[in-house]
Every structure is written in C-alpha cells, then in structure tokens.
C-alpha cells in the first residue's frame, strides 16, 4: 500500500526492515532496544548518533542545541512560551497562516500576551497564501515571532528570508517556527531561527518524539512555572535524558536520519520532493475534475490538499483509491476534499501511481 496519510505517516521501508531485523536482539545484547536502560552505553550511543546525524543533515551550527522531547508539537506550543516568556519580554507575535499557527497563538496566550501580527484567513477559514512580511505589524517588545512554515492542513508552505530575520533580530526578537510537517524535506538555514520545533511523526519517525533546535542563548528564559521535564535548560544539560526519553522513537528517528544521509542527504531529497510535488500539482492544474486553491508560490511540497469539482464523487474516489492500494487520501475535516501528504518516505513511484489513478478516475467520470 502507498500511504499518503498526513501523520502518523509512512516510514522508509528500509528503516522498518532494519527495525524488524533488530527488534529481538539489538546489536548482540540479546535485548530489544526498548528494553534497555536509556543511560547504558548502548542506548546512549543510539541517541548521540541520532543527534549528530541530524546536526550533519541540517548543517546545524554549533551554537544550537538539539533536544529530543515528548508531548507532541501541541505540547511544544505550550513549552515554547513557557521557555521563552520568563524574561523581561512577555509578548509573543504570531503570523496566522492556517490551522496550526492559530493553535499556537491561542496556546501561547496562556503564558503571556500573544498578538496576531498578520492573518491570511479569507474570512471563511480558508488559507491560500502566506502573509507577506512587509505587512506584518511587528511589536516593538516581542520576545519572539511565531510562524508555521508548513501548514499541514491547508497546504501552505513558505520560508523566511535572511533580510526578514535581520529585521526581526534588530528589534531584539527572533523567529520560532513549527516545522513539524516539512523538516528535512530540503536544506535549511537554521541560523535564521531562534527555535525550530515539531513532532516527529511525518518526516522523522514515530509519534511520541519531538525535536527542538534551540539557539544556546535562549536556554535560560523559562518561566518559573515551567515543568522541570519541559525546561529546555534541564533537557539540554542532560543530553535529552533529564527523564526517560522515548527510546524506541529516538532509535527509529536515528535510522531515518541515516537513511537520508545514505540517499544523498537533503539536497537530493529536495530534488525528489520538488519533482513529486510538480507532478501532482501539474496533474491537478491540467484537469477539469480536480482543484487546488493555494496560490502557486505558497503551495506545500509536502501536503497537497485538493478538491473534486463534483463533491458527490468524493467517497467513490476514496474507495477506488484504497482498492488501488492508495491509502490516507481523505482531506482533513476542517477543509474537506482530499489531501495527499507526500513526505520523504513517499516515493516518486507512489506519486506516479496516485496520478495514474486520478487521471483514470477523471476519464471514467468525465461528463
């Protein structure tokens, strides 16, 4: 089956096969990796290796910590303000670009003042573009500016420029991005952000692990109420082992990082992802049955929502897709229609199979 689910999502087959082979006896220990002490040398090596491979893949500068945590990206929506609003600045600025940035803004409001500085909502809950930075009403006293660079539900993707980062940092603030659904899809200039975070269950590994990439000078701004297990300083000082980490998930994430590295790293991944996305969007744009409403510049390379012009065909489309081995295509309930999530583990062959099915379906139902 080709799995187009938005998350938890497909994992690379070689990674699953390696996990299966190692499940009962991890590296000759006679134990499964999830049965052993997280503080023992065998697991410590797994964690350090995962972290170091991620640093190489994303070229993460040495003045950033990589933390593996828990609580999902929604948990991080609270953990971020608790860690960043404990100093003199207690305001967070938020750019609203879809469902996930809305959730982030609401959650941050529990821990400080969370201001909306730009909003792409068309008034009916539809998002088809990313607000232009020139329109952002930046506060002069914000601790940070929160963005979501890939909106998983609405299929809107965008990256900040170096100029924008410079402008924000000149005001004493910095960018914080939720990158749950497109981290590792292409190379990234980490230095443009103070913090990057997300859940693992799209491009990294199983749900239950989160990643936080945080600039060292931001580790000591936590509010007093921040739980010790969620205080980045504690997690950083204890190499992501302040408390028992999600060991199986970190092990799996490490295998995914190694799979990426062995397959040409993120430059290669970007080429494949661009080709997959182009094939799918071209198919949609050249059809009379399918439609994607996002402006071309902001279309996500990872999450492709699309609609059938005749919505009465939705269930027939989904049933036929499943019968053809194409799973997870139902759109999010907030927007309806279909959504194909084409993360790193979804191959070009999978997208070709989807496109062939879509075209055959259109021919069959042409009026």
Listed residue (290, 329, 309, 333) closest to 153, CA to CA: 333
| Residue 100, marked binder | yes
Stretch that binds ligand PLP, among 50-58, 173-181, 211-219, 329-337 (CB under 6 A): 173-181
Q: Which residue has the tokens 């009465």?
A: 312
Query: With binding defined as CB under 6 A, does residue 340 bind ligand PLP?
Result: no
- Among 178, 184, 232, 249, interactor with ligand PLP by CB under 6 A: 178
Looking at residues 187 to 206 of the shown chain, list those that interact with ligand PLP (rule: CB under 6 A): 199
- Among 53, 165, 181, 300, interactor with ligand PLP by CB under 6 A: 181
Integer Cα distance of 145 and 234 in angstroms: 24
Query: With binding defined as CB under 6 A, does residue 254 bind ligand PLP?
Result: no
Query: With binding defined as CB under 6 A, does residue 74 bind ligand PLP?
Result: yes
CB of 70 to ligand PLP, least distance (A): 10
Query: With binding defined as CB under 6 A, does residue 305 bind ligand PLP?
Result: no
Nearer to ligand PLP, 121 or 362 (CB): 121
| Residue 49, marked binder | no
CB of 286 to ligand PLP, least distance (A): 28
Residue 218 in contact with residue 63, Cβ under 8 Å?
A: no
- What are the angstrom distances between the C-alpha of 320 and each of 27, 292, 332, 337, 358? 43, 21, 19, 15, 10
- Among 92, 97, 152, 292, interactor with ligand PLP by CB under 6 A: 152
CB of 199 to ligand PLP, least distance (A): 3
Q: Is residue 178 among the annotated active site residues?
A: yes
Catalytic residue among 158, 202, 259, 276: 202
Query: With binding defined as CB under 6 A, does residue 300 bind ligand PLP?
Result: no
Listed residue (309, 312, 319) closest to 289, CA to CA: 309
- Among 4, 5, 7, 344, interactor with ligand PLP by CB under 6 A: 7
Q: Can you state the angle between helices 13-22 and 247-262, rounded to 10 degrees?
A: 130
Query: With binding defined as CB under 6 A, does residue 129 bind ligand PLP?
Result: no
Query: With binding defined as CB under 6 A, does residue 249 bind ligand PLP?
Result: no
Listed residue (154, 132, 181) closest to 293, CA to CA: 154
CB of 182 to ligand PLP, least distance (A): 8
Query: With binding defined as CB under 6 A, does residue 283 bind ligand PLP?
Result: no
Query: With binding defined as CB under 6 A, does residue 96 bind ligand PLP?
Result: no
| Residue 152, marked binder | yes
CB of 196 to ligand PLP, least distance (A): 12
Q: Is residue 100 among the annotated active site residues?
A: yes
Query: Binding site for L-glutamate: residue ranges?
Result: 39
Residue numbers at the binding site for ligand PLP (CB under 6 A): 7, 72-74, 100, 148, 152, 178, 180-181, 199
Query: Binding site: residue ranges?
Result: 39, 100, 152, 178, 201, 243-244
Instruction: Give the active site residues.
Output: 100, 178, 202
């Amino acid at each position: 089956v080709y799995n187009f689910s938005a998350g938890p999502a497909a994992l690379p087959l070689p990674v699953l096969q390696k996990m299966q082979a190692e499940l009962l006896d991890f590296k000759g220990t006679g134990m499964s990796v999830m049965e052993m002490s997280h503080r023992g040398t065998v697991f410590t090596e797994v964690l350090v290796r995962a972290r170091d491979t991620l640093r190489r893949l994303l070229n993460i500068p040495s003045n950033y910590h990589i933390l593996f945590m828990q609580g999902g990206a929604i948990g991080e929506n609270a953990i971020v303000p608790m860690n960043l609003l404990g100093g003199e600045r207690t305001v967070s600025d938020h750019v609203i670009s879809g469902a996930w940035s809305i959730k982030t803004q609401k959650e941050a409001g529990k821990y400080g003042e969370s201001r909306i500085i730009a909003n792409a909502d068309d008034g009916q809950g539809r998002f088809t573009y990313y607000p232009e930075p020139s329109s952002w009403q930046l506060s002069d006293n914000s601790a940070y500016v929160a963005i979501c660079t890939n909106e998983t539900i609405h299929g809107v993707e965008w990256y900040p420029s170096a100029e924008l980062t410079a402008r924000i940092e000149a005001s004493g603030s910095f960018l914080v991005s939720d990158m749950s659904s497109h981290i590792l899809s292409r190379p990234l200039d980490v230095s443009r952000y103070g913090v990057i975070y997300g859940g693992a269950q799209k491009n990294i590994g199983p749900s239950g692990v989160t990643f936080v990439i945080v600039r060292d000078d931001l580790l000591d701004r936590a509010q007093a109420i921040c739980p010790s297990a969620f205080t980045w300083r504690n997690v950083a000082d204890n190499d992501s082992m302040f408390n028992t980490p999600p060991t199986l998930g970190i092990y799996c994430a490490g295998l995914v990082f190694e799979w990426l590295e062995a397959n040409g790293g993120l430059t290669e991944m970007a080429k494949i992802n661009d080709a997959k996305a182009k094939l799918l969007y071209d198919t949609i744009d050249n059809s009379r049955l399918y439609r994607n409403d996002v402006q071309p510049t902001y279309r996500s390379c990872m999450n492709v929502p699309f609609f059938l012009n005749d919505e009465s065909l939705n269930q027939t489309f989904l049933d036929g897709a499943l019968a053809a081995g194409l799973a997870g295509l139902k759109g999010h309930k907030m927007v309806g229609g279909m959504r194909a999530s084409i993360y790193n583990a979804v191959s070009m062959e999978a997208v070709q199979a989807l496109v062939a099915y879509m075209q055959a379906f259109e021919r069959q139902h042409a009026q």
